[in-house]
Amino acid sequence: MTGLVAIPAFGASSQAEKEKATAARAACLTGDYANGAKLLSELFITTKNPTWIFNLARCAEQSSKYQEAISHFKEYLRVGKRLTDDEKADVQKHIADCQESLTAQTPSPTSPVVAQPAPPVTAQPVASSGSAPDTQARADVSVAGGDTSAANRGSGLRVAGIVVASVGLATAVTGLVLNLKANSLADDFNRTQDPATKSSSSSYKTGSMICYGVGAGALVAAGVLYLVGRAGGGSESNSQVSFLPALTTTGFSLDVRRLF
């Protein structure tokens, strides 16, 4: 593949065409494909000489515009009615070279990256405030390891006691809020005698009692945890203290167990 655009002498018949052909050659050789292609197209339109289509294809080939070069070479074969077999073979060789270069430029396809869907988030069921089921809250604190000091075990129990106390206090506050809402609805019922208002007031009242019971149980459990932790957590190397505060429709109980 030569580095110059072939422009035969017979391709330009006038001085103006020769000057334009020279300018086109210079543009193609310096990489100014847009200007070179413009001049060569004008020469073909003026002279109807297919040689300028060949030179247009060579200009595109030299500028690495292989797809355009292939199109121009094929157009040259179509309009060149008097081409010899050797000329046609040379054009086919240019087309094959452009196709090879075009294939080398095309990046190989890569496997698409498929994003893994996030696991579905399952909503936790919320207990209705209109019923009063039996509820239980359990706090298990395990202290294990024969090489753990009693002081470390006691510290863990105290921290657990503080956490459980926080939960109990928050639950008790929730009960207070529900109780205030129940009282407000009770006042509304006294004024309106609306059965729906009375039902809502009863539901809030029941919810507040449940929260009071659970909160009280958690506070009691927290106190036991803290006291046991302050005493040093026990002398056993492996033990588990289990607190099971339970609130039912009939009352509240706290089951304290120590497992060995």
pLDDT tens per residue across span 176-191? 888 888 888 888 888 8
Burial of 224 per CB tally in 10 Å (0-12, 13-18, 19+): middle
Question: What number is the average pLDDT over the span 36-42?
Answer: 93
Q: Give residue 144's domain range.
A: 135-259
Same domain, 98 and 142: no
| Cβ contact 197:148 at 8 Å | no
Same domain, 151 and 253: yes
Same domain, 237 and 175: yes
Number of domains making up the chain: 2
Q: Express each pLDDT in 188-216 by its tens digit.
A: 888 888 888 878 888 888 988 888 888 88
Same domain, 99 and 141: no
Same domain, 158 and 250: yes
pLDDT, position 196: 83
Same domain, 68 and 142: no
Domain boundary among 103, 125, 151: 103
| Cβ contact 53:44 at 8 Å | yes
Same domain, 85 and 165: no
Q: pLDDT category, 236, cuts 50, 70, 90? A: very low
Axis crossing angle, helix 33-47 with helix 51-62, rounded to the nearest 10: 170
Same domain, 77 and 154: no
pLDDT above 70 as % of the chain: 66
Same domain, 223 and 161: yes
Q: Express each pLDDT in 69-113 by its tens digit.
A: 999 999 999 998 889 999 999 999 999 999 999 899 877 666 555
CA dist 180 and 231 (Å) reads 39
Alpha carbon separation from 163 to 36, 157, 207, 218, 219 (Å, rounded): 81, 10, 23, 10, 10
Question: What number is the average pLDDT over the span 41-59?
Answer: 93
Q: For residue 55, what is the domain's CATH number?
A: 1.25.40.10
CB 165: neighbour CB atoms within 10 A? 19
144 domain-assigned? yes
pLDDT at 57 over 50: yes
pLDDT, position 71: 95
For residue 137, what are the contacts with CB-CB under 8 A and spacing of at least 6?
A: 214, 217, 218, 221, 244, 245, 246, 247
pLDDT at 128 over 60: no
pLDDT above 90 as % of the chain: 28
112 domain-assigned? no
Question: What number is the average pLDDT over the span 110-139?
Answer: 54
Q: Is the pTM of this model over 0.75?
A: no
CA dist 66 and 58 (Å) reads 10
Pair of tokens at residue 77: 């074969």
